[in-house]
Structure formats: C-alpha cells, structure tokens
Amino acid sequence: MSEIDSLKAQLQALQEKALALFADAADLKALQALRVAYLGKKGELTSVLKGVGKLPPQDRPVIGQFVNATKNALAEALDKAESLLASKEKEARIDAERIDVTLSGRTSTPGALHPVQQGLHEMTAIFSQMGFALAEGPEIEDEFHNFDALNIPAEHPARANHDTFFFDIEGTADTKLLRTHTSPVQIRAMQACVDAGGEPPLAVVAAGRVYRCDYDVTHSPMFHQVEVFKVDKDVSLAHLKGVLQHFLSAYFEKDVPIRLRPHYFPFTEPSAEVDIGCVFCNHKGCRICKGSGWIEVLGSGMIHPNVLKAVGIDSSIYSGFAFGLGVERLVMLKHGIPDLRLFFENDVRFLRRMGAK
Ligand code: DAH
C-alpha cells in the first residue's frame, strides 16, 4: 500500500474508533479526557500527522485536506456528545435536587409542665391569692418533724400506718426518713417564725413530694401533697370551712358542695375528712362515688394544742386550722383520669393530651 493510502487508512480507523468512544463517554469529564487524547497537542491526531512529513510534496495537500476533515468530524462529534451529556447531567441534577413543596413541614413540639406540676401550680396559686405564703421543707426528714412534733409519739399506731421509708445516716445515731406527708412543713414554718422572734398570724401553703412504702392501683410510693395552715387569735372551724369552700370551688371551676365528716388525725382536734359533691354525677350518686353522691378529697382539722406547744406557740392565745390534700387525687377528679399510674408512666400520648394551658 502506498504511503498516502496507509495514512488515509490510519486516519479512517482513528476516526471510527474516536467516534465510538465519544458516543460511549460516561460523563463530561471522560469526554474532556477523550478530547485531549485525540485533538490535544500530544494527541492521536498529532501523532498521525507526523507521518505527513515523509510523504512526497504533491501528496501533502491531499492528505492535509483529509486530516482537516477528520479533525472537523472529531470536533463536531465531541461538541455533540458534550451538549448531550451536559443536558443529561443537568436533568439528573434537577431530579436529585427536586423539592417536594407539598410535603408538610417539620413542626417542633413545645414542652409542657407535667400534669401533676400544673395541678400543683393551680392549687398553690389559689392559696397565694388568698394571702397564704409559700413555704418549703426537706424531703429527707427526721422523726421529730415528721412524727413527734405532730403529736405522733413513738408507740403511736399512726406511725405504723404511714409505711415509712427509714434509713440510717452513716456515722450518726440519727434516724432519717423520707417524709410521709407535708405536715412537717407546718412544724418548720412555725419554728422559723418563733426562732426569728416573730409570732402569729401565720398563713402558709406548702407543696411537694411525699413518700410511702405502698404500691398498688391507687397508691404510688411517691406522690404529691399540698399542705395549708393558718394560726392566729380566734381561728375557728368556720374559717377552715370557708377557705375549703373557696379553694375547692376555685379549683374545680364550679360551685361544689362540701361537707366535713368527723375523723381522727393525731395533729388536729377536732379532725374532719372533707368530701365534695361527686364531680362525675353532680352529686346524684354514681359508680365512682359508690352511690353516695360524695367523694372524699382531703384531711383537715383544728391544729392540736400539743403541736403548737411543740414549737413554742401558746395555745391559750392562738389557735389554727390545717389541712392536707393529695395533688394526684384532685387532678384525677378534675380531669376524669381513671388510673394513678398514668402520671408516672410518662406515656407521651397522655402527657400531650394533658398539655400546657
Ligand atoms: N398529713 C395527713 C396525711 O398525709 C393529711 C392531713 C390531715 C394534713 C389533716 C393536715 C390535716 O394538715 O389537718 O394523711
């Protein structure tokens, strides 16, 4: 084969191979590499051109035209493949970055106070408005504040009823306990007043956790109480009843009938349990109030002279009333919550339904 025919054949083969590779290029980057490999200074076409110098002069323009045609064909094919790949890549990007504007947004769920805390705040707020001052006491108590000063001496059967969690503090002879009720705050508040050289009137509300070694459907080893008391000259049972009537109607947001039923507590004399007209049947009698129309809600009474004596308040001058209530119980009655355990399981569906107001 003549020199020129061999060159033509080489160019032909190069073009065929190049066009096939261009059409197969996976992406723009690969295509760019092919452009350099074929049309670049050190590319395939250049190396074929090196053979042109060996041709006789009259053949050179002929092959020159052939080379130009090949070059143009490659350039054209590259441009075509490039615009095809560019539009393919653009489509892929648009597909990948597509935003579904109909998708609902991500909302944040605001936190809320636990229903027991909400109830506790509602209750103490009512007493604050009535002029009772907020007080606190420790959850780890001693026998004096939890029992003795409240007229519950060591052998008293009421101590056994309290199902107390006792524990010893290492290195001391003291017996400590988890308070079984909020009544020790009465003692602490009265002591603080006397120690500061003050004297009644004293009107206090205290709320917090209490502990009893007791667990079943209606009892939890930890629950909450609100304790209220007032000490002054001439405080009577009528004041107690008036405060209870106002509080219970304010808390239940309706006029609830109340009644005081004689009872026994060591720290009050006389003592009474307080019932409200059943909030489920409007006092008519139902399954929940066992047909009586009444539901027991709290314990109360006139502060026992021994309690005043224990803190150094003269019971011949001063008298007082006191009462204590279970927060969970009142929240359950107000919102028709059937099971005490719901408060402690923290099922988020229950908490959401009881959400912040
Ligand atoms: N401390 C009592 C209890 O937990 C409740 C109670 C009854 C409190 C009568 C009082 C009261 O202040 O006067 O069972």
Q: What is the pLDDT of residue 356?
A: 52
- In a shared domain, residues 196 and 129: yes
Q: What residues form DSSP beta bridges with 232? A: 319
Number of structural domains the chain divides into: 2
- In a shared domain, residues 91 and 126: no
294 within domain boundaries: yes
Q: What is the pLDDT of residue 357?
A: 46
105 within domain boundaries: no
Which residue from 217, 295, 303 is spatially nearest to 259, judged by alpha carbons?
Answer: 295
- In a shared domain, residues 157 and 214: yes
Cα 117 to averaged position of ligand 1 atoms, centre (Å): 20
108 within domain boundaries: no
Is 131:202 a contact under the CB 8 Å cutoff?
A: no
- In a shared domain, residues 133 and 61: no
- In a shared domain, residues 238 and 138: yes
- Order of strands, edge to edge, in the sheet holding 222-232? 133-135, 202-211, 222-232, 319-326, 294-303, 268-277, 258-265
Residue 270, both tokens:
């006389």
Give the mutation target among 161, 178, 179, 181 for probing the ligand 1 site: most ligand atoms within 8 A of CB.
Answer: 181
Give the mutation target among 237, 269, 302, 323 for probing the ligand 1 site: most ligand atoms within 8 A of CB.
Answer: 323
106 within domain boundaries: no
220 within domain boundaries: yes
For the whole model, what pTM was predicted?
Answer: 0.73
Q: What is the pLDDT of residue 128?
A: 98
- In a shared domain, residues 242 and 166: yes
What single string gives the DSSP state of each residue in 301-313?
EEEPHHHHHHTT-
CB burial string 116-144: b at 16+ within 10 A, e below: bebbbebbbebbeebebeebebeeebbbe
For residue 80, give Cα distances in angstroms to 27, 31, 237: 13, 11, 101
What single string gives the DSSP state of each residue in 89-130?
HHHHHHHHT---TTSPPPPP------HHHHHHHHHHHHHHHT
From the first residue on, what is the mean pLDDT of each consecutive set of 10 residues in the chain (357 residues)? 83 89 90 90 83 82 86 90 91 89 86 94 98 98 96 86 85 89 98 96 98 87 97 98 98 96 97 96 91 96 98 97 97 93 91 75
282 within domain boundaries: yes
- In a shared domain, residues 53 and 17: yes
Give the mutation target among 300, 307, 321 for probing the ligand 1 site: most ligand atoms within 8 A of CB.
Answer: 300
- In a shared domain, residues 140 and 287: yes
Cα 300 to averaged position of ligand 1 atoms, centre (Å): 6
Give residue ranges with CB within 6 A of ligand 1: 181, 183, 227, 265, 268, 299-301, 322-324
For residue 190, give Cα distances in angstroms to 71, 159, 185, 285, 286: 106, 22, 8, 41, 42
109 within domain boundaries: no
> Residue 64 belongs to what domain range?
3-96
Q: What is the pLDDT of residue 107?
A: 85
161 within domain boundaries: yes
Residue 229, both tokens:
């008391």
- In a shared domain, residues 154 and 43: no
- In a shared domain, residues 8 and 119: no
